[in-house]
A = this chain, B = another copy of it.
Amino acid sequence: MPEPSEQEGASRVRRGRGRRPAAEVCADVLEAAGALLLEGGMGPFTIEAVADRAGVSKTTIYKWWPSKGALALDGYFHAVESALTFPDSGDIEADLTAQLRAFVHVVTRTPAGRVIAELIGQAQTDPDLAAALLKRYSGPRRELAVETMLRARSRGRLRADVDPEVLVDQLWGACYHRLLMPNLPLTEEFAVSLVANLMRGVRG
Contacts and interface: CB of A to CB of B under 8 A. Distances in A.
Nearest to A123: B121
Most B Cβ at <10 Å: residue of A157, A163, A174, A193: A174
Nearest to A137: B181
Interface string A168-204: 0110111111101111100000100110011111111
B134 A203 contact: no
Nearest to A117: B124
Contact of A198 (B121, B182, B201): B201
20 contacts: A120-B121, A120-B124, A121-B123, A123-B180, A124-B180, A152-B204, A155-B204, A156-B204, A159-B202, A159-B203, A165-B184, A167-B197, A173-B173, A173-B174, A173-B178, A176-B181, A180-B180, A198-B201, A199-B201, A201-B202
Interface of A: 93, 117-118, 120-125, 133-134, 138-139, 142, 152-153, 155-160, 162-163, 165-167, 169-170, 172-178, 180-184, 190, 193-194, 197-204
